[in-house]
Structure 1
Amino acid sequence: MPASANDVIEAVVDHGTYESWDAPCTVSGADVEYRAALARARARSGVDEAVLTGVGRVAGHPVVLIVSEFAFLAGSIGVAAADRIVDALARATRSGLPVLASTASGGTRMQEGAPAFVRMLDISAAVARHRTAGLAYFVHLRHPTTGGVMASWGALGQITLAQPGALLGFVGPRVTEVLTGAPMPEGVQTAENLAARGLVDALTPVSELRRLLTTILGALRGARLRTSSPAARPPRTPRTLEPADTWASVEITRRRDRVTLTDLYRNGIAVLVPLAGTGRGRPAIHLGLASVAGVACVLIAQDRRSDQPIRPHDLRAARRAMALAEEWRLPVITVIDTPGADLSAEAENSGLAFAIAQCVAALPTLAVPSVAVLLGQGAGGAALALLGARRVIATQHAWLAPLPPEGASAIIHRDTGHAPDLTRQQRIGAPQLFAAGIVHHVVPEPDGQAPDDLAAAVTDAVTNTLKQLPLRPDRGGAQG
């Protein structure tokens, strides 16, 4: 049996802390038949409308809840329900509180037609105002969520969770078959399919919702990064770095035993909540709400061991993560380690250059602190997309080039044999990048250093750099 609105509230909030914000609903101009339907819905569901709103505490964090009740006319949203949602969002915004919207709805209430339908605009605008104020808006999609709810406030979450097995879609399967004459293919309108395609961040049953919210809210409340403390010192790069053969560095970054993103995860970077948006298979870019030495941040990290090249949707997901960091006033950490983006017709048709350009333009203009880590390979536009942070850290053998050295050789010499010489001529190595002011700090790599030791040194450099970068004035929003 599907969870009721009260079941969700009870499962999420601390016992005894929920306070309803709902005033009695009235429906003016309703005919006798509709009034009778409303009366039956109240008796069947035990609630007075298709949505309940109020405030409670989740592990001590105050949270505004907007929760659908499917047993009330299939959770459909009429004018009165829409008013209730808009009022709750506005009150949450004024109070500086995060919002959890838990949906289970067939969409707009057909008995009220266009007046109810257009209220989805008002709800969506209220969500936008809430997010613009720097406040958290989480969505939990329950079974089923379709129609105008799915296509408005149900799809506007900064983090979107979904009940496993839930029916989720634009128009429900029965209506789709009636209108098109053909059934929707099996498995399309499911939470699992949306998660696989990067449209849902996590499959989360109601029983796990409280635990996940506690993690997120705790991280956001702890994100009080301010100006540097007196004890914080910026990382220092030696004035003269040990000379290194650039081609040898390129070869080092391509070795199987080279430090990877996984090593960073073992040595100071913790992903608290992964963010979706990277499609099927092991993603080429990892996104997540993360913690670096206890500082909450948004992580956008390339994984050179991915089974897929970086594709346009990976970069669009990275752009989404940048926007989320901006809304939540969280610092951004990018990790660059890529042999280059996908070179295929599909990537071109999907707008690879456009996706790179959007990231290239967005990252330098963020008002939050940002640190880029050039961990190893930095080939082409895929590397440039994540380079434009306020500070750039590089490992000593890392490199950055317009193309892989073999590609540059092919352009200039029509072969790949000149790649080693071109790495030196193009000054792509970390020491040269530091001398040119492109990189602000180089993490030394002594001979024989273990990947874990290098990863720990990189994490320390990121932590110290973050402490030197002030966050813009906090308005208390996302912190809850």
Structure 2
Amino acid sequence: MGSPCGLCALTTGRCQPECRRSCSTVARRLVEHGPPPGVPPTAVDEWSLRAPDQAAGVGVQTEASEAAPWISCPECRELVYSKRLARDLGVCPACGAYSRLDASQRVAQLVDAGSVVPFEPPVTVEDPIGFADSLPYRDRLRNARERTGADEAVTCVTASVTNHPVIVAVMDFRFLGGSLGVGVGERIVRACETALRTRTPLLLITASGGARMQEGAFALMQMAKTSQAMAELDEAGILTLSLVTNPTYGGVAASFATLTDVILAESGARIGFAGPRVIRQTIQQELPPGFQSAEFMQAKGFVDAVVPRPALRPVLGGLLGMVRPDGAPAATKATRLIRDPAELPERDPWEVVRLARHGDRPTTLDYVYQLLDDFQELKGDRLSGDCPAIVGGIGRLDGRPIVLIGHQKGHDTAERVSRNFGMALPEGYRKAARLMRLAEKLGLPVVTLVDTPGAHPGIEAEERGQAWAIAENLRLMSGLKVPIVSVITGEGGSGGALALATADRVLAFSNAVYSVISPEGCAAILWKDQAEAPRAAAALRLDARELLRHGIVDAVLPEPRGGAHENPAGAAETLRAALGATLPELTRLNPRELVERRRRRFRRYGIEDARNT
């Protein structure tokens, strides 16, 4: 079998026939039965999973000694070589379980080598209420410092991630369960103040069981103290990110951890206010599978993305890079926007409707992948859920960061069903509103791509406030202080389309349609027969030529021969050029001019001749 591996050489001098996965079988014997005579007990150690805060959820702690070359994963019981575990960022290669990382390990994994400058620890009151139980609180603090080598449950540094500067505050669950007390609150606030003073993005990495009860109401006040510091960053337009790790509960989850612009979470992280045991004991009810997991919270609209640990650094770097342009905008191929309706041929409106609905027509995500670099999709409305019929995020268009939002229909039947055929629920419109507010905070232009039959008409949509969500978007967009360009890429159906199209400039592809109602709906109401849909399409004046003639759209984008579905890449390049020609003229305007002109645009409809003749 060749020369023995290190472990077998240590125990028997030769590899065993049943050995697999780097002799994990022999290593397991060392764990279960102890080492043979003459072998030091530190040759193998358990990687222990334990729940230090049973009320909060599951906790993972790596306790392997540096002298122990093998670690047992408590999830799958496989033996993992400790150097490999470190190389894999604390992720078990057999089952994917995550070990808990301390603050120094987190910093080392995420930031650029040599970029770390630690903050000076602040002076705070250590025992504000003179608390003692079985041990005086001061003794508990001293013991925690001796055990962890940290002075508090959070470490703050100035650093960079992929060459983008950032202020980092990283919590350490080993220190009194990462609890929020005066010391933690003051450090978080100072991190916020440094970010504000230097106009540097802030990254919070959280791991906590909640507020520190040994500090009484002083601990409670830290929730308000840190939250108001986060509000100041919002007012100043400073990007804030949080990485939620396992567990994040109580006062930390209910303050700074969830107040950031973008919330990322490690897979399997537990997030919430009250922990599972508290909830079970209070309501005497079984909890659903995956309750309070990162994946569960993303589905409920509270987490933007669940990111595998190896992908965290590039994802964070991409987001941090969005706060400033990446050099001068790249040159784009010029395209001629059609502004004169006489240049567009008269066509059968019903045939245009059929082309606008073609299943192979490019979707929002198709355009995203063609147009944007470093795109990060952001999910959730922070209220109740995420709607797959609307997608959005932040990315670079020819080097310039933008926020892009659009309806997403899909191509095949399965995807169309999963996307609800592009008909958004209220949470979709609320997600779009959240992303537009983020764009306004960061001073980024907004591009929206419209392709929907209309807003979802259903019981659940009405129960969750469909009309309210659409109305709120119309009001928000009318006063948004950054440029908005909307492009009708396919169907523009009623208020569900307008909720993404109250813009400074509205463009349309030549095979797009835009109307108050679908032709079928109009025919059913007026002629009591959906077969009259072609007649209704003509009456509604919904094609690009008529929309341009009536001043509903500002310009028309010519499509490739046969339609955008025949040459999606060509259609994407036309869209790139159109945005490249339209955005610069808007970004030159100050916010007040933008809003005034946008409001005048929509004010004129119906009281003056807006037609393009």
TM-score normalised to the size of structure 1? Answer: 0.92
Indicate how the Cα distance of structure 1 residues 438 and 270 shifts in structure 2: closer, same or farther if over 3 A, else same. farther
Map 1:416-435 → 2, pairs under 5 A: 416-435=530-549
CA distance in 2, matches of 1:318, 1:11: 33
CA distance in 1, matches of 2:266, 2:341: 55
CA distance in 2, matches of 1:234, 1:467: 16
- Tell me whether 1:201 sits opposite 2:291 in the alignment: no
* Structure 1 residues 402-450: Cα deviation after superposition (integer angstroms, max 9, x where no partner): 1111112222222223322222222221111111222111012354352
Counterpart of 1:463 (choices 557, 580, 586) is 580
Aligned-partner SS, 1:403: coil
Residue of structure 2 equivalent to 1:151: 254
> Which sits farther off after the overlay, 213-222 or 320-329?
213-222
Residue of structure 1 equivalent to 2:202: 99
CA distance in 2, matches of 1:234, 1:80: 60
- Tell me whether 1:43 sits opposite 2:146 in the alignment: yes
* Structure 1 residues 11-36: Cα deviation after superposition (integer angstroms, max 9, x where no partner): 12212221122235441443451111
CA distance in 2, matches of 1:392, 1:372: 5
In the TM superposition, what is the alpha-carbon distance from 1:373 to its structure 2 partner? 0.7
Q: Which has the higher contact order (CA 8 A, sep 6+)?
A: 1
Partners of 1:104 and 1:142 within 8 A in 2: yes
CA distance in 1, matches of 2:140, 2:320: 39
* Structure 1 residues 123-158: Cα deviation after superposition (integer angstroms, max 9, x where no partner): 111111102211110000011001111111111121
TM-score normalised to the size of structure 2? Answer: 0.73
Partners of 2:246 and 2:268 within 8 A in 1: yes
> Which sits farther off after the overlay, 433-442 or 274-283?
274-283
Query: How many residues are matched?
Result: 472
Amino acid at match of 1:341: A
CA distance in 2, matches of 1:234, 1:465: 12
CA distance in 1, matches of 2:252, 2:294: 15
Counterpart of 1:55 (choices 158, 161, 166) is 158
- Runs of 5+ in structure 1 lacking a partner? 475-480
Indicate how the Cα distance of structure 1 residues 152 and 427 shifts in structure 2: closer, same or farther if over 3 A, else same. same
Residue of structure 2 equivalent to 1:304: 409
CA distance in 1, matches of 2:155, 2:374: 33
CA distance in 2, matches of 1:473, 1:214: 30
Partners of 2:560 and 2:571 within 8 A in 1: no
Partners of 2:125 and 2:182 within 8 A in 1: no
Amino acid at match of 2:430: R
Q: What's the Cα RMSD here?
A: 2.5
Provide the identity percentage. 37
Amino acid at match of 1:465: T
CA distance in 2, matches of 1:270, 1:451: 21
Amino acid at match of 2:316: L
- Runs of 5+ in structure 2 lacking a partner? 1-61, 63-99, 411-415, 592-613
Amino acid at match of 1:302: H
Aligned-partner SS, 1:378: strand
Residue of structure 1 equivalent to 2:291: 188
Residue of structure 1 equivalent to 2:44: none
- Tell me whether 1:441 sits opposite 2:555 in the alignment: yes
Partners of 1:332 and 1:371 within 8 A in 2: yes
- Tell me whether 1:285 sits opposite 2:352 in the alignment: no
CA distance in 1, matches of 2:292, 2:341: 58
Residue of structure 2 equivalent to 1:353: 467
CA distance in 1, matches of 2:532, 2:268: 55
Residue of structure 2 equivalent to 1:174: 277
Map 1:352-431 → 2, pairs under 5 A: 352-431=466-545
Amino acid at match of 2:555: H
- Tell me whether 1:294 sits opposite 2:399 in the alignment: yes
In the TM superposition, what is the alpha-carbon distance from 1:467 to its structure 2 partner? 2.2
Aligned-partner SS, 1:313: helix
* Structure 1 residues 195-226: Cα deviation after superposition (integer angstroms, max 9, x where no partner): 23332122224443221111122233226889
Partners of 2:478 and 2:503 within 8 A in 1: yes
Indicate how the Cα distance of structure 1 residues 291 and 221 shifts in structure 2: closer, same or farther if over 3 A, else same. same
Aligned-partner SS, 1:48: coil
In the TM superposition, what is the alpha-carbon distance from 1:254 to its structure 2 partner? 1.6
* Structure 1 residues 204-253: Cα deviation after superposition (integer angstroms, max 9, x where no partner): 24443221111122233226889x99x99984534512112222111111
- Tell me whether 1:131 sits opposite 2:234 in the alignment: yes
Aligned-partner SS, 1:330: coil
Aligned-partner SS, 2:530: coil
Partners of 2:385 and 2:427 within 8 A in 1: no
Amino acid at match of 1:173: P
Aligned-partner SS, 1:347: helix
> Which sits farther off after the overlay, 371-380 or 40-49?
40-49
CA distance in 1, matches of 2:277, 2:588: 50
CA distance in 1, matches of 2:285, 2:492: 48
CA distance in 1, matches of 2:587, 2:297: 37
Residue of structure 2 equivalent to 1:478: none
Aligned-partner SS, 1:189: coil
Partners of 1:176 and 1:183 within 8 A in 2: no
Partners of 1:304 and 1:339 within 8 A in 2: no
- Tell me whether 1:27 sits opposite 2:135 in the alignment: no
Partners of 1:302 and 1:336 within 8 A in 2: yes
In the TM superposition, what is the alpha-carbon distance from 1:466 to its structure 2 partner? 1.3
> Which sits farther off after the overlay, 436-445 or 381-390?
436-445
Partners of 2:327 and 2:399 within 8 A in 1: no
> Which sits farther off after the overlay, 117-126 or 273-282?
273-282
Counterpart of 1:7 (choices 89, 102, 105) is 105
In the TM superposition, what is the alpha-carbon distance from 1:277 to its structure 2 partner? 1.5
